[in-house]
Chains A and B, each alone.
Chain A
């Protein structure tokens, strides 16, 4: 990740690598990515409500995944986030399973 991206919190992961809105100025694009990132974390926490696992932003750079007993894992992006969630939740998060997402029922 380049310094500018690190400062403004936009990552190399495919989710964050395209402009979300047609923007003339980089600041608008950066802002839209940060809003989306915040929304993703809110959604994740809603879906994970029953697992005792919560996800927090780590300076716009990574995700901090924590459980009720204080264990913590740092995930660099969405590719590594789900394995970290599963490790702390102690069960798989398979989106094809009928009970998923946990928070939907």
Chain B
């Protein structure tokens, strides 16, 4: 089915807007909804608290705004989120209020991964919805403190396709630079833009992330939290997909919660077209083919963002499971 979807995918894109408390998610969303791109966008807002306010702040005239109150989506996720999405889809059919895109604004204290997982693992929702872009809002004023004290803020940054740094005008330029470096260390895959600058276009908030995601850095990036690590493995020899997929599935089964983010461009045996795979914890997205390897890359390149996992053990394990294919691997 996914192969059919890849050629003619008419499912509605569901984007995630996340970010820590007070980072400016709702303001960004308001601005986006006023642009032509946001005109046909439905919105699902989740607030942590009994009385929701944010849905009143979102611009009227959007294709539909629903509020999920009284708890956090990631904690009660499968029931409440699934039900809310089904209601939105049913209402679209019943009232003829079409929407082309859907945005979920998460609570500031939400972990984003369970929300993504719920959408991906619900077969009924998958018929109508596909995961679009994950946008994380990072407040330049409080980012350093939030990352140091709140694991939710770190996890929100690690899963992002695009990170928008807000309130840059309230801090000195060197602090903005520091925040960007910090964010880059947490997530080498994401587009990073600063709100209010020329390169930031409101209407493009949920556009697919740029091609830089198709490259994997082979340098180890120091992260600020002591248990988080980002590292890359390079393997020159083409990989055997059967072996690799079994190994990765076993790794996700045992260590999915610690594997915060994973992305790889793989050169596989038996095909000239490299494959891009990426995942968030237990959740893997459908692989895609590239026409050729990015310039300068030879063989496979795998990048991991992990929590309390030893890169050496992962490398040794990969060697053990792959070495039977023809012999020792180069790394």
Contacts and interface: CB of A to CB of B under 8 A. Distances in A.
A70 interface: no
A78 B3 contact: no
Nearest to A2: B1
B90 interface: no
A101 B273 contact: no
Contacts of B285: 14
Contact of A18 (B243, B275, B316, B317): B275
Contact of B3 (A18, A44, A93): A18
A47 to B, nearest CB: 8
A92 interface: yes
B193 interface: no
A44 B2 contact: no
Interface string B272-299: 1101010100101111110000000000
Nearest to A104: B320
Contacts of A12: 1-2, 123
Contacts of B1: 1-2, 5, 12
Interface in B230-265: 241-243, 245-247, 249-255
Interface string B299-326: 0000000000000011011001100100
Nearest to B318: A95
Interface size grouping (class) on chain B: 35 or more
Contacts of A22: 271-273, 289
A28 B314 CA distance: 34
B246 A40 contact: yes
A69 interface: no
Contacts of B250: 82, 93-95
A10 B287 CA distance: 14
Nearest to B121: A79
A59 interface: no
Given A18-B286, A79-B249, A82-B250, A96 B2 contact: no
Interface string A43-67: 1100100000000000000000000
B270 interface: yes
Contacts of B321: 95, 100-101, 104
Residue among B242, B287, B317 having the largest count of chain A Cβ atoms under 10 Å:
B242
Contact of B287 (A5, A17, A104): A17
A81 interface: yes
Contacts of B289: 18-19, 22
Contacts of A40: 242, 245-246
A19 B245 contact: no
Given A44-B246, A93-B250, A96-B313, A19 B320 contact: no
Nearest to B4: A2
Interface of B: 1-4, 6, 123, 241-243, 245-247, 249-255, 268, 270-273, 275, 277, 279, 282, 284-289, 313-314, 316-317, 320-321, 324
23 contacts: A14-B277, A14-B279, A14-B286, A14-B287, A18-B275, A19-B3, A20-B241, A22-B289, A39-B242, A40-B246, A44-B246, A78-B246, A79-B253, A82-B253, A83-B253, A93-B254, A95-B250, A95-B321, A96-B255, A98-B316, A100-B320, A101-B320, A104-B320
